[in-house]
Structure 1
Amino acid sequence: MGELEHKYEVEVKATEKQQRLPDDVKEELKASGMMDDKGKLKLKGVSPKMLKRMKLEFVSCPVLKKDVQFIQCFVCPNFQSRVTGKVLCKGDSLK
């Protein structure tokens, strides 16, 4: 199997405290069916234990030019894969 085409390799960093998702991201998750009305995430193929760990991680997004919660990165259309603490990002514009 060949390598996935990606523009950026972004390191995943951990934090002590859970970060809050911005309201616009929450609305997008609800619209796509990945979050219920109560605000609980429903990501297919992700166990509750892994989801809890993902909430404590963030990445320095090369497209948005700021730190974002890993869950926001995970549901981004640019997300390719996560391999050994790094995220492969397509780097396309989000607008």
Structure 2
Amino acid sequence: MTSAEKPKYEVPVIKLERALRTKKEVREKVKEMLGGGVVRKFNKDAVDCPVRGKRVSFLECYICPNFIRRFKGTVHCRGRSIPISSAKG
């Protein structure tokens, strides 16, 4: 990834009252990378994923190979198709 990479999609982050269900493996992976405080902060955030065609937790979005960055409440996404094993999070 280069800093000049152009995203195919810019998806707004949605703040939820209650967190979407996220697999424990996904939460643990993000916790290892960013720390527990960040996981708690992002746990109630979601995005309407243009690749998977449904609303997913931001934590799942973060570990997706299409994720480029999150900037000012918007997720920048490469928009490439992903293998089924990655899609399950």
Q: Cα offset for 1:53?
A: 1.4
Counterparts of 1:1-95 in structure 2, within 5 Å, are: 3-22=4-23, 26=24, 29=26, 34=29, 42-44=31-33, 46-95=34-83
Q: In the alignment, what sits opposite 1:38? A: none
Q: Cα offset for 1:85?
A: 0.3
5+ residue gaps, structure 1: 35-40
Distance 1:3 1:67 in 2: 27
Structure 1 residue matching 2:68: 3-state secondary structure: strand
Query: Whose Rg is larger?
Result: 1
Percentage of matched positions with identical amino acids: 34
How many pairs align? 82
Structure 1 residue matching 2:10: 3-state secondary structure: strand
**Higher percent of residues as helix:** 2
Distance 2:54 2:17 in 1: 19
5+ residue gaps, structure 2: 84-89
Q: What is the TM-score normalised by the length of structure 2?
A: 0.78
Aligned amino acid, residue 72 of structure 2: T
Distance 1:79 1:4 in 2: 11
